[in-house]
Amino acid sequence: MREMTRRDFVAASAGATCAIGAALALDASIGSAEAEALTGSAPFDEKWIRTTCSPNCTGACGMMAYAKDGRVHMIRQAADYPYEHYNPRGCLKGLSINTMLSGPDRLTVPLIKDEDGKQVETDWDTALDTAANRLKEIMDEYGPESIGVIYQVQGTGHIQKGALVRIANTFGWSVIGGYELNGDLPMFWPETFGCQSEELESYCWEDSKLTLIFGSNIMVTRMPDAHFLTYSQENGGRVIYFDPNYSASAERADEWVRIAPDSDGAFALGMAKTIIDEGLFDEHFMRTYTDSPLLINTQTGKRILADEVVGVQAVADIPDYRSSFVAISQTSGAPVATTPLELPDNDYALTGTYEIALTDGSTVEAKPAFQLLAEQLEQYSPDAVADICNVDADTIRRIARDAAQTKPMHIIFGGGTQQWYHGDLKGRACALVACLTGNVGQLGGGISTYVGQYKTRFNTASWMAPEGSIKNSCPFHYWVNGPTPLMKAKYPKDGFKAIVVGWGNPLEQHNVANWLREHVDSGDIELFCLDFQQTLTATAATVTFPCASWYEKTELTTTPLHPYVQLQQRIVDPPGQAREEIWIFTELANRIDPSKETLWPRFAPEDSEKRADEVLALLLEKGGPTIDHLTPEELRHGPGKLAHANPGEKRIPFWEQINERIPFPTVSRPNPLDATSKFVRSGRIEFYRDEDIFLELGEQLPCYKPPFEDTEYKDDPDARVLYPLGYTTRNSAFRVHATYVNNPFMLELQDNTPKVWLNPETAAERGLKTGDWVEVYNSRGMVEGQLIEDPGVYPTQCIFDQGWWSAYDNKTSYNSLIWPWINPTNEVYYIASVWSPNMAWNETACNVRLSNGGAPQIVRDTGKSILDGPIPQGSGIEYAKGAES
């Protein structure tokens, strides 16, 4: 039994009005599976049951729901995490999804398009056969890889969402990595550490003494975790927040640094320069764990291999994906081979210039990577970067010293900083600071990114990769841009013909949303959709399957933010004809190809729970050492904790590398370690990259490159003048992407109105003022909104809260302005969601003007009851039926 918490306030002070208090005060601590009666005084038959709220966010929050008459009436946080500070976990959105589960936008009947292309209701057999026949035709004509699959993100559901991955792998459809599609893939991770990413789970934040946050609005986008920063402050730690715009996270920080947009990398390089110049860096860390001592041929820019050097022999028996490089032993002064198989203490030189005799008879000049880094940093003195960052040099020096001398120091590298064309360069610069200060591998230290619930935390192949799997994948970037010269992904020979999308809304949420809409309207691309809400995508699909929400099925979830494995559980039945996805995909697979029944044993829809249970047991049993100690029974009761290698309660990223001297990288599931190890061939953290394109672009070392020069301005030189503002589509407190937009409580909190934020000066320059209905536009598209003057917005920025369905915004789309630029360094390798072109949402220039039209009816009706005229799309606002206005 858990100790009494303050939530049980009356138990400790039983008084006059709480005669039954003592018996009921265990509220929060009752085992979650033992369903709890609502109250003692109101003897309801129905029960509170635990599930996990897991839309496409990183929360994975344990919830308890109370159902009556087959409908969820109330939701509260389960607050049953063994680590008390994780309680209560859950935000305003998930706690009010009951308004949507049985709301007017709920999908309850399968839909198909009739001969006129009009969507009509149908029965399951017709829907499934229609989808199966059409998909089969497309596969036969264009190949299975012409069908793209969007399965949202794996961590949010391994069984039901996993079934979509399984069917994709069964037939060889092209999985579109959601991680890169959403701009969540921090490319500096594979470029520097060789892995998809690593991060501190949020309960480690309270162990940090200094937290530097670059462009991550934690207080809004990581609500259930945000308090760990507060606890860090209450423990004597400090938080410094870097962002061009003021935000809730700036408000909660100890210091806000108003950095110029996209200049975080320059700031970090200025810090690195200071830390090195003032001798504050951790030399042992750099020498032992990074590529700092490896010799670079200064003529070619390439790393020198041990086998190329006279008198040096490469370390023996190394796998293909490893290389033995060369460093200078300070003891002997001679070049020696470095081992990629372990990370031993060593006496390698970090600085100097050396003449190296090669086996081809030549002698070349070589310098350790650290020497080149130091030389590179000459151009990034605090005084030099002050102008780029619009921050005075003394501040940069002060924060650099602070970061070097305060331990543990943790850098949170946010989506706001990452999702630029040169986001990887900024990440490499910030990673450099984390390494120079020796914080990587320490509890409460290092660098983390928290964009997306991407992380695969156990082995999932037993379910997602069936026997005979055909694994295809191709980023959405190439759908739009077409194949590129450096592309490593597999592009379908006839292009893409269809999208099978689960739990996603690409017609609203993809970049160039209008491009996709046009291709769907013209019939170039067909949609097959699974959802539980009537999104634009659901209403445009050839076939739409109504599926179960996370209160209506069994599903297995994990997140990078906490160590708990949790279940979604069936609290109520799916409404109407809505069904679990596992049944839908089983039927679809069998109807496409009856010979697949061995992989997809059929079952009746009412046995979906039983089938999900079997898959759950399989996933746990075959999931490997992080999860195989957990049982379905345990998880039915509440959260189970993933296992980790280091001693102590909290997992420490790279602990094995730093303490057991196991080479980098860590594994990026579901890929085997061998597949990603080539990203860091030295087995070390690599700040120097010598692939040709990095050399060609001058990006072999972390550097600063300004925004828009390689994208918008290169594409259209006039954009510099026409679109002088940077366009940021930030995440809102009231939505998870486009989910919850039709939650009536969320709408009310926002006056039902999409808004555009500008600095008052920027607005004045355009003759605009608060309340004006404006257009944000560029050459590609336009979105409307009501203007808000906000002195917290940087003068060259325009902000729109992403996620608004276009039905609420005169059919305009905020994503219509955004182009999927492809950075060629992201094409050096291709492994879906690990090394791939990544979406740079913020690399978008725009301008703002007064709208010729005006606020849509839906906005003008704000605060009034809507009695007449159904709003066909996004009708959540229509909840005031029957009111007297």
Partner 1 sequence: MRFAMAIDLDRCIGCRTCAVICKDFNAQPQGIWWNRVFTSGTPEYDVAVKVDDQLRMEFVPISCQHCTNAPCQTVCPTQATYTDPDTGTVLVDYDRCIGCRMCASACPYGVRQFNWGAPAKMAGLGGTELEYGYPEPYHDGEHLVYAPHRPEGVMEKCTFCAQYTSQGKEPVCCRSCPGNARIFGDMDDPSSPIRAYLKDKEPFFLGEEYHTEPNIYYLAAHKVTQVNQVPASADGKEA
**For residues 187-246, which are near partner 1 according to CB under 8 A?**
219-220, 223-224, 226-227, 230, 233, 246
* Residue 689 CA from chain centroid, whole number: 25
CB of 424 to partner 1, least distance (A): 19
CB of 42 to partner 1, least distance (A): 5
**Is 147 in a helix, a strand, or coil?**
strand
749 binds partner 1 (CB under 8 A): yes
Provide the token pair at 523: 């019939």
750 binds partner 1 (CB under 8 A): yes
Binds partner 1 by CB under 8 A, chosen from 47, 71, 401, 637 = 71
423 binds partner 1 (CB under 8 A): no
CB of 258 to partner 1, least distance (A): 6
295 binds partner 1 (CB under 8 A): no
40 binds partner 1 (CB under 8 A): yes
CB of 605 to partner 1, least distance (A): 19
Segment 669 to 688, residues that bind partner 1, using CB under 8 A: none
**Is 251 in a helix, a strand, or coil?**
helix
Give dist(CA 27, CA 39) in Å, integer: 10
Binds partner 1 by CB under 8 A, chosen from 3, 41, 279, 868 = 41
Among the residue ranges 63-71, 301-309, 482-490, 664-672, the one whose residues contact partner 1 (CB under 8 A): 63-71
CB of 283 to partner 1, least distance (A): 31
Residue 788: what residue type? I
248 binds partner 1 (CB under 8 A): yes
13 binds partner 1 (CB under 8 A): yes
Q: Which of 495, 494, 497, 519 is nearest to 507 (CA)?
A: 519
Give dist(CA 836, CA 470) in Å, integer: 20
Angle at the Cα of 366 from the Cα atoms of 360 and 370, rounded to 5 degrees = 145
- Helix orientation angle between 393-405 and 264-277, rounded to the nearest 10 degrees: 60
Give dist(CA 535, CA 541) in Å, integer: 10
> Which string of x and - marks every residue 434-463 that binds partner 1 (by CB under 8 A)?
------------------------------
Q: What is the DSSP string of 758-789?
A: E-HHHHHHTT--TT-EEEEE-SS-EEEEEEEE
Among the residue ranges 11-19, 114-122, 208-216, 303-311, the one whose residues contact partner 1 (CB under 8 A): 11-19
Encode 338-403 in three state secondary structure. Answer: CCCCCCCCCCECCCCCEEEEECCCCEEEEEEHHHHHHHHHHHHCHHHHHHHHCCCHHHHHHHHHHH
Give dist(CA 581, CA 128) in Å, integer: 12
Q: Which of 486, 488, 490 is nearest to 824 (CA)?
A: 486
Give dist(CA 199, CA 558) in Å, integer: 14
Segment 752 to 771, residues that bind partner 1, using CB under 8 A: 755, 757, 761
How distant, in Å, are the alpha carbons of 4, 29, 260, 715, 812 from that of 78? 15, 9, 41, 51, 39
Binds partner 1 by CB under 8 A, chosen from 134, 136, 258, 636 = 258
Cβ neighbours around 873 below 10 Å, total: 17
Segment 89 to 118, residues that bind partner 1, using CB under 8 A: 89-92, 95-96, 98-99, 102-104, 106, 108
**Is 26 in a helix, a strand, or coil?**
coil
Segment 355 to 414, residues that bind partner 1, using CB under 8 A: 390-392, 395
507 binds partner 1 (CB under 8 A): no
Contact (Cβ atoms closer than 8 angstroms) between residue 165 and residue 154: yes
Direct distance between the N- and C-terminal alpha carbons of the chain, in angstroms, rounded to an integer? 51
Binds partner 1 by CB under 8 A, chosen from 451, 725, 832, 839 = 725
2 binds partner 1 (CB under 8 A): no
CB of 848 to partner 1, least distance (A): 13
The site for partner 1, by CB under 8 A, has a size of 115
> Among residues 264 and 827, whose Cβ is nearest to partner 1?
264
Contact (Cβ atoms closer than 8 angstroms) between residue 800 and residue 733: no
Binds partner 1 by CB under 8 A, chosen from 12, 120, 310, 617 = 12
253 binds partner 1 (CB under 8 A): yes
**Is 130 in a helix, a strand, or coil?**
helix
> Among residues 25 and 314, whose Cβ is nearest to partner 1?
25
875 binds partner 1 (CB under 8 A): yes
490 binds partner 1 (CB under 8 A): no
255 binds partner 1 (CB under 8 A): yes
Binds partner 1 by CB under 8 A, chosen from 2, 7, 209, 780 = 7
Binds partner 1 by CB under 8 A, chosen from 796, 828, 850, 873 = 796
Q: Which of 110, 51, 114 is nearest to 584 (CA)?
A: 110
* Residue 870 CA from chain centroid, whole number: 36
Q: Say which DSSP state 70 is in.
A: T
Binds partner 1 by CB under 8 A, chosen from 708, 777, 821, 830 = 708
Contact (Cβ atoms closer than 8 angstroms) between residue 698 and residue 376: no
> Among residues 224 and 623, whose Cβ is nearest to partner 1?
224
75 binds partner 1 (CB under 8 A): yes
Q: Which of 167, 162, 140 is nearest to 152 (CA)?
A: 162
> Among residues 67 and 369, whose Cβ is nearest to partner 1?
67
> Among residues 687 and 794, whose Cβ is nearest to partner 1?
794
865 binds partner 1 (CB under 8 A): yes
Binds partner 1 by CB under 8 A, chosen from 2, 47, 209, 252 = 252
> Among residues 10 and 673, whose Cβ is nearest to partner 1?
10
Give dist(CA 389, CA 788) in Å, integer: 26
Segment 798 to 827, residues that bind partner 1, using CB under 8 A: 801
What does R_g of the chain's alpha carbons equal in angstroms? 28
546 binds partner 1 (CB under 8 A): no
256 binds partner 1 (CB under 8 A): yes
562 binds partner 1 (CB under 8 A): no
Burial of residue 98 (CB within 10 Å: 0-12, 13-18, 19+) is buried
28 binds partner 1 (CB under 8 A): yes
> Among residues 57 and 516, whose Cβ is nearest to partner 1?
57
